[in-house]
Structure 1
Amino acid sequence: MSKIVFLDVDGTLIDYEAKLPASAAKAVDQARANGHKVYICTGCSKAEILQRNLCDLDGMIGGNGAYVEDNNHVVMHQGLSKEDVKNIVDWCNERHIGFYLEANSGMYCNDYMLEQGPETMVKYAKGKGASLENAKSSAQHFIDGFIHLQGDELYRDDVNKISFILRTYQDHLDSKVDFPHLVANTWGGKGEVALFGDLGPTGITKRHAIEVLLDYLHADPKETISFGDAKIDLSMFECCAYNVAMGNGGSEIKEAADYITDDVNEDGLYNAFKYLKLI
């Protein structure tokens, strides 16, 4: 019976320096050749994914569930309202916080993100095991992918979600209070230490997006497998029949997993695909 596989991206399909292990690409290619469908299910929006050198896939779920695509066909797209974007942009700017708007058309940042982003992204990469040299290189690549906008140019109506730098964890807690009608998450850092907060539309999760895609495909949830490395992936685990945590994953995702594979850079994806007889 063919399976439908959902892969988180950073720390699962690719490493924390945005490099795709050759074994992971081979695993996905072979699984698809064997008749299985493979989708990425990520917090990244399509513009960011297009900057990555990934293998061929059957489609994607992006923006933590705001966007669903099957073979270049848009199944669902539900982003933030322009009013919400304006309010979040103003909230961040008043706090002198760097942020970027995640849209399918691009990643748009403010002045503070250009100032604060490199240091924060170096912390992110180093916390995931990168050397200082590699961390600086990957951080610069990340920053280079932004489109810098100012003033009301940032009040856009095509935004899936917004990520912002956490000066302290209190910024995340404040965002939950100030935007109670939105979904607030955190990400980045070693283990589950938060470096970024993000805000997205309510009702949007990886789980919801998977359910929408399965309904579109007329597929049986019993044939689904998910792979992840962080707390944000737990919603995938709630709806998929079998769930795999990466060896480099946090404690919560490992505790919820049916199987724990090796690290992303130790052929974790390939070894799990073999174990599950996808290849």
Structure 2
Amino acid sequence: MSKIVFLDVDGTLIDYSAHCPASAKEAVDKARANGHKVYICTGCSKAEIEQRELPELDGMIGGNGAYVEDAGEVVMHQGLSREDVKRIVDWCNERQLGFYLEANSGMYANHYMKEQGPAVMFRYGTGKGADEMTAKEAAANFVNSFIYAEGEDLYRDDVNKISFILSDYQDHLDSKTEFPDLIANTWGGKGELALFGDLGPAGITKKKAIEVLLDHLNADQKDTISFGDAKIDLSMFELCAYNVAMGNGGVEIKEAADYITDDVNENGLYNAFEYLNLF
């Protein structure tokens, strides 16, 4: 029976320096050649994904569920309104927080991001196990990938969600109070340490997006498998029939998993695909 596989990206399909292990690419290629469908299900926007060297896929879910694509066809796209974006941009700028707007057309950042981003992304990489040189290079590449803008040029109507640097965890708590009509998450460091907050449209989750895609495919939930490494992936686990946590994943995702595979850089994806007889 053919399966539909959903892969988180960072820490699952690629490592924390944005490198996709050769074994992971091989696993995806073999599974698809064997008749299974493989989609990524990520917090990243399409613009960010297009900068990654990933294997060929059947489609993607991006923005933590705001965007759904199958074989090049847009199935769903529900982002933030221009008014919501303006509110968040102004709030972050008032607090002098670096942020970037995650749109399918590109990643648009303020100048605080240029100043604060390298140190935070270096901390992200080293906290996830990258050596200092690799983490520094990955941080520079990440920050240099942004389109920097100011003022009204940041008030856009094509944004899936917005990530912002946390000067303190209180910034995340304040964002939940300031924007009760939106979904507030955190992401970042080792385990579930919060380095970034993010804000997205209400009602958008990875779980909801998978439901939309399965309906589009006329597929059955019983044929689904998901892979993740962080708390944000728990909504995938709520829906999918079988769930795999990466060895480098956090405690919560491991506790919710049906199977725990190896680290992303220790052939974790390949080993799990083999264990599940996907090829």
The TM-score with structure 2 as length reference comes to 1.00
Q: CA deviation at 1:3?
A: 0.1
Which residue of structure 2 aligns with residue 135 of structure 1? 135
Distance in 2 separating the partners of 1:198 and 1:9: 17
* CA apart distance, 1:144: 1.0
Q: CA deviation at 1:148?
A: 0.3
Question: Residue in 1 aligned with 2:151?
Answer: 151
- Flag structure 1 segments of 5+ consecutive residues without an equivalent: none
Alpha-carbon separation, structure 1, partners of 2:22 and 2:131 = 21
Output the amino acid matched with 1:178: E
Cα RMSD over matched residues? 0.3
Distance in 2 (alpha carbons) for counterparts of 1:84 and 1:141: 28
**2:80 aligned partner:** 80
Indicate whether 1:207 and 2:207 are aligned.
yes
Alpha-carbon separation, structure 1, partners of 2:130 and 2:23: 20
In the alignment, the residues of structure 2 paired with residue 269 and residue 190 of structure 1 have an alpha-carbon distance, to the nearest angstrom, of: 20
- Provide the rounded CA distance (Å) in 1 between the counterparts of 2:272 and 2:53: 22
Partner of 1:98: 98
Between the aligned partners of 1:265 and 1:131, the Cα distance in structure 2 is 13
Q: CA deviation at 1:92?
A: 0.2
The CA distance in 1 between the partners of 2:18 and 2:112, in whole Å, is 23
Where in structure 2 are the equivalents of 1:1-279 lying within 5 Å?
Answer: 1-279=1-279
Shift of 1:61: 0.1
1:2 alignment partner, SS class: coil
Shift of 1:59: 0.1
**1:195 partner SS:** strand
Task: Give, in whole Å, the separation in 2 of the partners of 1:132 and 1:56.
Answer: 30
Identity %: 78
Query: For residues 162-182 of structure 1, what are the alpha-carbon distances to aligned partners after superposition, in whole Å with 9 as ceiling and x for unaligned?
Result: 000000000000000000000
CA distance in 1, matches of 2:171, 2:145: 25
TM-score (norm 1): 1.00
Alpha-carbon shift at residue 227 of structure 1 (Å):
0.1
Residues 108-135 of structure 1: CA distance to partner in whole angstroms, max 9, x if unpaired?
0001000000000000000000111111
C-alpha separation in 2, matches of 1:126 and 1:33:
35
Deviation at 1:51, TM superposition (A): 0.3
Give the secondary-structure state (helix, strand or coil) at the position aligned to 2:65. coil
1:14 and 1:93 mapped to 2: Cα distance? 31
